[in-house]
């Protein structure tokens, strides 16, 4: 599943990079929890929680049904 998650993140990564940030995959657990690290401008952005849930998590769940949750670490 990790490879599939990375592929989806690669598709949305240019959006983050355009704004001066990035998203790094840290871990994918057997329970379907995806742990990511927001970097650059995304790290301290007040909208990062919305980006995490409404952007990253939603896209991953659409493409990979086994994903249950996305967490920032």
Looking at residue 47, which CATH number applies to its domain? 3.30.300.130
Express each pLDDT in 19-67 by its tens digit.
Answer: 899 999 999 999 999 999 999 888 888 888 888 888 899 999 999 999 9
pLDDT of residue 65: 96
The verdict on pTM exceeding 0.75 is yes
CA separation for the pair 53, 72 (Å, rounded): 10
pLDDT of 9 above 90: yes
Q: How many domains does the chain have?
A: 1
Domain that holds residue 50: 2-72
CA separation for the pair 19, 40 (Å, rounded): 9
The gap from C-alpha 3 to its chain's centroid, in whole angstroms, comes to 13
């Amino acid at each position: 599943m990790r490879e599939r998650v990375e592929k989806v993140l690669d598709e949305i990564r240019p959006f983050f990079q355009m704004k001066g940030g990035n998203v790094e995959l840290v871990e994918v657990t057997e329970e379907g929890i995806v742990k990511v690290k927001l970097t650059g401008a995304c790290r301290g952005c007040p909208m990062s929680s919305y980006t995490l849930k409404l952007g990253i998590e939603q896209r991953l769940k659409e493409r990979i049904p086994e994903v249950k949750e996305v967490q920032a670490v």
